[in-house]
């Protein structure tokens, strides 16, 4: 196993899947406690995304693998996530005040490393780096909103909304969209010469969309509607391009491509549901469930389905890698459909939707465990 942060990616991806399954299984009506949602995002997804960036940035900048010390950034993010969970579980004000600043320090260190690689890149770096930089900025804005909210109590609710949208549509959404432009052709086995042009062209619309949605949800709802439209435009282009370019690979499966292709569809459903229920606080609670089931789980399942064998055994690809990918991709089309359906049902408060999310999260976790077991033979 490599000595880089890459070696922690299998654990972090599994933690995200298990966290999602536990949170969804702890269903209580049509909403879940903040403690459990932070298990999915703060403890699972956020450190995992930093680790994934640490894996992709050297590829995008054509440089060596990430240094071992960089693992301190996702570990600090993990510690911050555990601290926030501790606050929601036990009400410790110390954790409430300190955890966001710990997360911000992790982002600062990671951004400094990424900027250094960007500056030293031979030739022009891949425009996906812009998406990663913007995603880190959104993550910082979301954490800063939490950090200052105790000192601005009259705006506590608005800052919470800013925090949620900056982290979901911003940090996770921008990272995912940038990565999908690179990962979809890789999994399909066919190059996409237009990917770099599309990433450079669509970046401004997605970033403007996130900023308007986050600020609008917090302070001026009409801005959120305009932001959602801007955000949806490049997302729709990505979905259309994926279907027209790799339709046969998606339909025939045999890889994790159907799950990756389902992820932007799930994100589009989140946008549509959020707009439709923008003024209905009770119905809007289903947005987070929809985000986890219809977007986050397909994204993690598809990415892990292709990359987990590389994370476990870097180097030349062998029959073990190919066999492991086939195992991880089993039922990819069915899982993609079930997760999209489950997300819609969960958004409507239906227990069946949560159950589908739990089943697919368990499927992912068990298939990852099986591949890890195969590696040790």
Using DSSP's 3-state secondary structure scheme, residue 2 falls into: coil
Answer for the pair 27, 354: CB distance below 8 angstroms, yes or no. Answer: yes
Q: Write down the pLDDT at residue 151.
A: 85
Global confidence as pTM: 0.93
Lookup: tokens for 276 = 């439709």
Q: Write down the pLDDT at residue 223.
A: 92
Lookup: tokens for 277 = 């229920």
* H-helix segments, 293-377: 297-312, 319-328, 332-347, 351-375
Lookup: tokens for 147 = 């950090």
Place of tokens 């955000």: 231
Query: If you average pLDDT over residues 53-76, what whole number do you get?
Result: 90
Lookup: tokens for 329 = 């991709």
Question: pLDDT per residue over 315-369, tens digit each?
Answer: 888 898 999 999 999 999 999 999 999 999 999 889 999 999 999 999 999 999 9
- Percent of the chain exceeding pLDDT 90 equals 57
Using DSSP's 3-state secondary structure scheme, residue 28 falls into: strand
Question: pLDDT per residue over 292-317, tens digit each?
Answer: 999 999 999 999 999 999 998 888 88
Closest by Cα among 327, 178, 363, 181 to 255: 327
Using DSSP's 3-state secondary structure scheme, residue 292 falls into: helix
Query: Where is pLDDT greater, at 7 or 270?
Result: 270
Measured from the Cβ of residue 339, the count of other Cβ atoms closer than 10 Å reads 30
Q: Write down the pLDDT at residue 1.
A: 43
Q: How is the chain split into domains, by residue range?
A: 1-125
Give backbone dihedrals phi and psi of 209, rounded to 5 degrees, phi first.
-60, -45
pLDDT band at 241 (very low <50, low <70, confident <90, very high): very high
Query: If you average pLDDT over residues 71-91, what whole number do you get?
Result: 84
Q: How much is the mean pLDDT over the chain?
A: 89
Answer for the pair 132, 55: CB distance below 8 angstroms, yes or no. Answer: no
Lookup: tokens for 169 = 């549509």
């Amino acid at each position: 196993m490599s000595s880089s942060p890459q070696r922690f990616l299998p654990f972090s991806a599994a933690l995200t899947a298990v966290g999602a399954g536990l949170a969804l299984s702890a269903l209580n009506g049509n909403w879940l406690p903040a403690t459990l949602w932070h298990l999915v995002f703060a403890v699972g997804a956020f450190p995992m995304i930093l680790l994934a960036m640490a894996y992709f940035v050297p590829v995008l900048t054509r440089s060596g693998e990430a240094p071992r010390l960089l693992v301190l950034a996702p570990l600090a993010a993990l510690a911050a996530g555990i601290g926030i969970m501790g606050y929601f579980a036990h009400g410790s004000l110390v954790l409430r005040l300190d955890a966001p600043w710990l997360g911000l320090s992790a982002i600062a260190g990671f951004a400094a490393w990424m900027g250094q690689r960007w500056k030293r890149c031979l030739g022009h770096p891949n425009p996906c780096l812009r998406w990663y930089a913007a995603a880190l900025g959104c993550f910082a804005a979301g954490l800063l909103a939490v950090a200052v909210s105790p000192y601005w109590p009259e705006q506590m609710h608005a800052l919470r909304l800013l925090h949620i949208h900056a982290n979901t549509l911003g940090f996770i959404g921008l990272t995912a969209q940038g990565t999908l432009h690179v990962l979809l052709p890789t999994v399909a086995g066919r190059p996409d010469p237009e990917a770099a042009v599309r990433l450079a062209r669509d970046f401004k619309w997605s970033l403007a969309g996130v900023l308007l949605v986050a600020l609008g949800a917090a302070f001026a709802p009409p801005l959120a509607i305009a932001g959602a439209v801007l955000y949806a435009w490049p997302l729709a282009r990505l979905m259309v391009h994926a279907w027209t370019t790799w339709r046969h690979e998606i339909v025939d499966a045999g890889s994790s491509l159907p799950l990756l292709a389902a992820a932007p569809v799930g994100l589009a459903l989140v946008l549509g549901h959020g707009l439709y229920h923008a003024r209905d606080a009770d119905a809007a609670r289903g947005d987070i469930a929809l985000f986890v089931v219809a977007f986050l789980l397909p994204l993690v399942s598809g990415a892990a389905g292709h990359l987990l064998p590389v994370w476990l055994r870097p180097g030349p690809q062998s029959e073990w890698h190919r066999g492991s990918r086939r195992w991880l991709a089993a039922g990819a089309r069915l899982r993609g459909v079930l997760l999209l359906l489950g997300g819609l049902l969960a958004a409507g408060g239906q227990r069946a939707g949560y159950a589908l999310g739990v089943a697919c999260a368990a499927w992912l976790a068990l298939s990852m465990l099986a591949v890890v077991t195969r590696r040790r033979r």
